[in-house]
Structure 1
Amino acid sequence: MKRAVVHDWFTVNAGAEKCIASFINNWNDADVFSLIDFLSDQDRDEILNGKRVTTSFIQKLPYVKSRYRSYLPLFPLAIEKFDLSNYDIILSSSHCVAKGIINTNKQLHICYMHTPVRYAWDLRNQYLEDSGLNKGFKGFLARFFLNRIRNWDLKTKDRVDHYIANSNYVAERIKKIYGKSSKVIYPPVNVGNFKLQSEKDDFYLAASRLVSYKKIDLIVESFAMTGKKLIVIGDGPDMKKIKSKASSNIIIMGYQEDKILIDHMRRAKAFVFAAKEDFGIIPVEAQACGTPVICLSEGGTKETVLDGITGVHFHNQNKKDILEAIDNFEKKINDFNPFEIRKHALKFRTERFEKEIKQYIEEKYKDFKKNL
């Protein structure tokens, strides 16, 4: 049996790449395809066990390493150029165009979907604004190409035999956008790297890439009104704006190595997370440290953080709701049991993911072979 794994792009070792690492751990003989591949040697070893990736023509375009998203209009064409006709099973890992890989009715295509194309659907306006493409002739062209990608995304929905969603939230969006049902299998979280610490220090922690949809600026503004100590770890294009909003009780540490991030995550009295994520790995990592999470009750964190048990939910992305959630947490702080919080996080461990994904694919392939 020949297997192919298709991933949108390899540029960093993030949440989607952790899924690829598990796929390769299950099927080390699989060949890997992607639009581009700029992994470091260390990341290649961790994600792909040293495997080389077959890339598209986009790999050779000018300035692609630093500006690959500028070639978004070419992504559908590039993904369709791959010839996977010799493979029995195609497993795509898609948050952009990987699900649109061309296959035949003699091949089983299962898509692990992190999200439908963000740029074409729910984050379209934010993408245009953040890219400076929301006005004028450039804005007109950008909307034209995003409309084409949206149409292509809908046209290619039936190339997938079975969808797997990384959360119930994503499953709902798959149903709404594509009209397709999906199996929910939560992504892997390497909780073994995060050790329990029951004694906490007197500070709150926020950590992520500093981009607009993560809402770190909103967290900083909220804590500036409380006087409570907040530490922010992460870097990104919003760094200057976030620093300008920080008061004396807020420390912006910028990018830090994993060991420093984990140390702060273990010691924090609570982890604060205001983004609406498809799943959101870092709140699960915080819980693996026995640290409660104060988070938005939408998206993946609605499922991964248990309100009143492993954290506190707030319902809207505004300062009023965040301040109320902090106040509620402070009142109930002694009710949170670090051991129970970690126990909940262990449900998302990598071994669970690999077992579930392998079992699901083997079952579907067995059924597929019967019907050939």
Structure 2
Amino acid sequence: MTTHQSDETVDVAIAHDYLTQRGGAEKVVLALQRAFPSAPIYTTLYEASTTYPEFADSRIITSPLNAVGPLRRSHRLALPFLAWAASRMRVRAKHTIVSSSGWAHGFPATGSKIVYCYSPARWLYQRDAYMGSSGLSPRRIVLDVLSPFLKRWDRRASTTATTYFAISTVVQQRIKETYGLDAEVLPAPHTVDTSIAEEPVPLPDAIAAEPFFLCISRLLPYKNVDVVIEAFNELGLPLVVVGAGPEERRLAGLRGDNVAMVKDLTDGQIAWLYARCRAVVSASFEDFGLTPIEGAVHGKPSIVLRWGGFLDTIDEGTTGVYFDSPDAAAVIEAVRGFETRSWDEDAIKNHAQRFTEEHFAARLREEIARIDALSAGGQDRASS
């Protein structure tokens, strides 16, 4: 159910940048909804057809931008207007849990604001990594013009938080450098439902005939999916790439016959792929690194870049191996080293238990209780 702004004040509300795609951040919002099932979700844009269908049962409160269909279907077109829209998303709740990578932490809130940060805005502070370093696109030109205003707006927004959590150690450091704030690391939960019925994914016979490697990623420049494809082209091993994004056409032109590209899969189809893959592979500059955990739930190891969030989610030698640079030669060497090892499926599954929804929700409830206790103490002092 989608509504516009409401005058109702609730105990807990959830805020998120935009619900227009399927990715790790949206999975965290679903986990928040399960932890706080009566909480409304405030977001600038909501497009039911391109995000997870589970949101259809949520109470979603949107900004005026949501009335513009092209912006719902491509949130990147909305970039010049999102700071304006975010500033008008007044959240009426005693506590607001904010899922943010740059916009939702700017939603005004009537009560406490607990920010769960995936990263200070990549499109402001890591633009080349986010958009690619070559060429002038209309979006890059718009960002160049708006960047001074957006940085001021973004840093002001950070000061409105009651509590800041970081998804990983690298993001914790980035929050300190960007905003001067101390944030506690709270790993994101995996949302894998092992009871879900698997659904086969149509794959070319040559790829489906033997265990394949699996790369699940949005197709953006900083995800370095081209590096993985180039490596597997040379290795000649089967690879399945799952994802969509601006790089899709270019990457499709790079792949050999041993590489399949699929997108818009159901949870059952994703589970089918995880269950049948040999390992998860990623050369991405990840702020967290969720796919190795999802693979680990299925007992599958990972081959990933030694960077960022992957440093928090991989137990080297037990749940996976690293390579040190995002280039094809490094990936090839890591895959060959991976093939010489044996892997303990039970040990890998045990590692995944560190990243449960229960742990995640319990820490947020503790923080809400702490804020309530401080508020009650302040009221007691004021009345004495």
Q: In structure 1, what is the equivalent of residue 7 of structure 2?
A: none
Taking structure 1 as reference, are residues 331 and 120 closer, same or farther at Cα in structure 2, changes over 3 Å only?
same
Q: Find the residue that maps to 1:320 and give its secondary structure.
A: helix
Distance 1:305 1:339 in 2: 15
Deviates further, 264-273 or 304-313: 264-273
Summarize the alignment of residues 2-151 of structure 1 with structure 2, pairs less than 5 Å apart: 2-40=11-49, 43=52, 46-47=54-55, 50-61=57-68, 63-84=70-91, 86-103=92-109, 107-122=111-126, 124-129=127-132, 133-134=136-137, 139-151=140-152
**Counterpart of 1:243?**
252
Please, which runs of 5 or more residues in structure 2 have no aligned partner?
1-9, 197-208, 380-384
Written as runs of structure 1 = structure 2, the 5 A alignment for 1:1-372 is 2-40=11-49, 43=52, 46-47=54-55, 50-61=57-68, 63-84=70-91, 86-103=92-109, 107-122=111-126, 124-129=127-132, 133-134=136-137, 139-193=140-194, 202-248=211-257, 250-255=258-263, 256-332=265-341, 334=342, 336-372=343-379
How far is 1:338 from its partner? Answer: 0.9
Q: 1:21 to 1:244 in 2, by over 3 A?
A: closer
C-alpha distance in structure 2 between counterparts of 1:87 and 1:257, whole Å: 33
Q: How far apart, in 1, do the equivalents of 2:33 and 2:140 lie?
A: 40
Task: Classify 1:257/1:367 alpha carbon distance in 2 versus 1 (closer, same or farther; 3 Å).
Answer: same
Instruction: Note the alpha carbon deviations across 1:114-165, whole angstroms, 9 max, x for none.
Output: 211121111x135555997448xx7544302123211211122210111011
Going from structure 1 to structure 2, the CA distance change for 1:41 and 1:218 (only over 3 Å counts) comes to: closer
Note the C-alpha offset of 1:30.
Answer: 2.6
Distance 2:121 2:276 in 1: 36
Q: CA deviation at 1:295?
A: 0.2
Opposite residue 149 of structure 1, the aligned amino acid is L
C-alpha distance 219-172 of structure 1, shift in aligned 2 (>3 A): same
Q: Percent identity?
A: 27
Does structure 2 conserve the Cα–Cα contact (< 8 Å) formed by 1:185 and 1:353?
Answer: yes
In angstroms, what is the RMSD of aligned CA positions?
Answer: 2.7
Assess if the C-alpha contact under 8 Å between 1:189 and 1:350 holds in 2. Answer: yes
Q: 2:19 aligns to what SS in structure 1?
A: coil
In 2: Cα distance, 1:21 partner to 1:236 partner: 22
- For the Cα contact (< 8 Å) 1:108–1:365, is it kept in 2? no
Q: Is the 8 A contact 2:240 2:262 kept in 1?
A: no
Amino acid at match of 2:15: V
Q: Is contact 1:205–1:265 with CA below 8 Å preserved after alignment?
A: yes
Secondary structure at the residue paired with 1:265? helix
Question: How far apart are 1:244 and its partner, in Å?
Answer: 2.9
Specify the code of the residue in structure 2 equivalent to 1:97: W
Q: State TM-score, norm by structure 2.
A: 0.84
Kindly indicate whether the alpha-carbon contact (under 8 Å) linking 1:36 and 1:56 is maintained by their aligned counterparts in 2. Answer: yes
Question: 1:317 aligns to what SS in structure 2?
Answer: coil
- Alpha-carbon distance in structure 1 between the residues aligned to 2:240 and 2:100: 33
Equivalent residue, structure 1, for 2:203: none
Q: Deviations over 1:313-370 (max 9, x none)?
A: 11111122212211221222x2x20110111012212222222222222223322432
Deviation track 1:76-128 (CA, whole Å, cap 9, x = no partner) reads 222222334x5322221111211112246xx3211111211121111x13555
> What's the offset of the Cα at 1:274?
1.0
**Residues 11 and 37, structure 1, Cα contact 8 Å, conserved in 2:** yes
Partner Cα distance (1:41, 1:359) in 2? 33
SS of structure 2 residue aligned to 1:73: helix
- Which stretch of structure 1 is more off in the superposition, 23-32 or 336-345? 23-32
CA distance in 1, matches of 2:37, 2:273: 35
Query: Structure 1-normalised TM-score?
Result: 0.86
SS at match of 2:193: helix
Q: Distance in 1 between matches of 2:344 and 2:246?
A: 36
Give the whole-Å Cα distance in 2 for the aligned partners of 1:52 and 1:225.
Answer: 49
Q: Is the 8 A contact 1:191 1:349 kept in 2?
A: no
- What secondary structure sits across from 1:99 in the alignment? helix
Cα drift, residue 281 of structure 1 = 1.9
Unmatched tracts of structure 1, length 5 or more: none
Measured against aligned partners, the alpha-carbon deviations of 1:165-224 in whole angstroms (never above 9, x if no partner) come to: 1112211111111110112111121233289xxxx9543222323332221211111122
